[in-house]
Structure 1
Amino acid sequence: MRIVILDSADEVAAYGAEIFIRCIRQKPAAVLGLATGSTPLALYRRLIDANRDAVVSFAKVSSFNLDEYLGLAGDHPQSYRHFMNTHLFDHIDINPDNTHVPPGDAADPLQACADYDKLITKLGGIDIQLLGIGRNGHIGFNEPSSGLQSRTRVKTLTRATIDDNARFFSTQEFQPHLSITMGIGTILEARKVVLLATGAAKAGAIKAAAEGPLTASCPASALQMHPDALLIVDAAAAAGLERKAFYKHIERENQKLLQSLGKT
């Protein structure tokens, strides 16, 4: 696991966006794993700008989102399909047929979960998976106690996650307590994983994920097992890390090495 600590949330978004842009330019038909929530929004805005300025094209790209609320159709304003259309897909040159979000209104959710994993495999697997992290360490909707080899499945949301997401729903609006989510095992099969975290509220989760034990109590700690996992965090999210100086030193040395090899 590699950890990059930057000064601000804006730098986190810029750093993360550049990784995705380089991936697509190297492999125009890349398969992206995408996430919702407030943290990726600044990254998506940068991807939109890069597409508008002809820096990168999504014409051959396919995408798979991590999760969706069970019980919400894709046109529901609180659905993650609607979120992705509004904040990314409608503003870039991606083929809508190549964008995949778990079907929250599936007649057979269990079969839909199995089909989702099969489609990822059929398209060659995910090249780069974007993640956020919940305050309780969840990735996707893999809540604490999720199996570390779990597959895409129906998952009950914890009270903490429900409360965190309540701000997106009006007081009279139905808020789902179930979801379809990629499993941790599904996520770990991505060739590269990029997790973004900003703000002091995420400091405890980042410390547990990066420096705590590998445990189902902190689902994000499973990224310790991934051969190419990158955590990009701002200073506030990194505040709880005990080895901040070491991570910064390693990153400086990595940049020197890359520069010497002409790869930056």
Structure 2
Amino acid sequence: MEIIYARDYEQLSKQAARYVYQFVASRPKVTLGLPTGETPIGFYRELVALHRDNQLQLDGMVTFNLDEYLGLPPQSPQSYHFYMNRHLFEPLGLPLEQTHIPNGLAKDPEAECQRYEEEIRRHGGLDLVILGVGRNGHIGFNEPGTSFDRRTHVVTLAESTRQANARFFPSLEDVPTQAITMGIATILEADEIILLASGSTKAEAVYHLIEGHKVTEQWPVTALKRHDRVTVFLDREAAALLSTAKETRSP
């Protein structure tokens, strides 16, 4: 596991964007797993800026998002379809037929999960997955207690997750209670994984991943210990509980 320390969120976003830009630029075809939430917004902004300065060849780029709320139409401002179009797909100029996001309005959500898994396999699996992490250690929407053997599945969101995401909705009552999420087993099959963590609320989850001794389903992020190609991008607040952070931070 490689750890890259940043002074702050802005530097973290630039570092991660350069990493992913170079990853995509070095391959004629690439399949990415993509996150949503607050942390990736700066990363997407910086990736778009790099593309504008020196354009990537996008015809070989395919994306699969980690998750989507159940019950939200794609045009809802709170849906992850809307989020991705706003923050990455439209600014990047990526054709929507090269993007994949679970259908939150699927009449049969379980069948949609199976379809999504089959589509990932049809594209040869994921070359790189970019993750955020929740304050309770969730990756994607894989909440504490989720089996590491799960593939794309329907999840009931933890109350702490709904409360953390309530700022994006008119009220807590409007936050969906369920979502479709890429499973941990699917994530771990990616060739490479990067994790973005910013802010003090992520510090405990980061500690369990990097210095904790257990791989435990109570902290889903610790599943990444089982992968041999993980790069973690941290700002100072997210790294606050790490014993080695002071010696290895960027100046």
Structure 1 length normalisation: TM-score? Answer: 0.90
Distance 1:172 1:220, change over 3 A: closer
Q: Is the 8 A contact 2:163 2:172 kept in 1?
A: no
Runs of 4+ off more than 4 Å: none
| Residue 179 (structure 1) shift | 0.4
Q: Deviations over 1:196-217 (max 9, x none)?
A: 0111111111001222210000
Asked whether the equivalents of residues 36 and 83 of structure 1 are also in contact (C-alpha less than 8 Å), the reply is yes
Offset, 1:245: 5.5
Do structure 1's residue 182 and structure 2's residue 182 form an aligned pair?
yes
Give the superposition deviation at 1:86.
0.7
Q: 1:239 to 1:118 in 2, by over 3 A?
A: same
Instruction: Give the Cα separation in 2 of the matches to 1:192 and 1:169.
Output: 33
Structure 2 unaligned spans of 5+: none
Deviations 1:149-187 (A, max 9, x none): 210000000010010001111038732100000011011
3-state SS of 2:231 partner: strand
2:42 is the counterpart of 1:46: no
Shift of 1:244: 2.6
Q: CA RMSD in A?
A: 1.6
CA–CA separation in structure 2 for the residues paired with 1:139 and 1:172: 21
Deviations 1:89-111 (A, max 9, x none): 01113121010011100111101
Q: What is the correspondence of 1:1-264 to structure 2 with a 5 Å cutoff?
A: 1-171=1-171, 174-212=174-212, 213-244=214-245, 248=248
CA distance in structure 2 between the aligned counterparts of 1:173 and 1:49, rounded to whole angstroms: 36
Equivalent pair of 1:60/1:94 in contact (CA under 8 Å): no
Opposite residue 52 of structure 1, the aligned amino acid is: R
Aligned amino acid, residue 210 of structure 1: I
Contact kept? 1:75, 1:81, Cα under 8 Å: yes
Distance 1:81 1:229 in 2: 27
Q: Runs of 5+ in structure 1 lacking a partner? A: 252-264
When the two structures are aligned, how many residues end up with a matched partner? 249
SS at match of 2:174: coil
Indicate the percent of aligned positions where both proteins have the same amino acid: 41
Q: Report the secondary structure of 1:90's partner residue.
A: helix
Give the conservation status (yes or no) of the 8 Å contact 2:65–2:100: yes
**TM score, norm. by length of structure 2:** 0.95
Counterpart contact for 1:5–1:232, Cα < 8 Å? yes
- In 1, the alpha carbon distance for the partners of 2:223 and 2:9 equals 24
CA contact (8 A) 1:51 1:57 kept: no
Quick check: 86-95 or 63-72, which moved more? 86-95
Contact 1:7 1:235 in 2 (8 A): yes
Relative to 1, partners in 2 of residues 1:53 and 1:70: Cα closer, same or farther, differing over 3 Å? same
Deviation at 1:18, TM superposition (A): 1.1
What's the CA shift for 1:40? 0.6
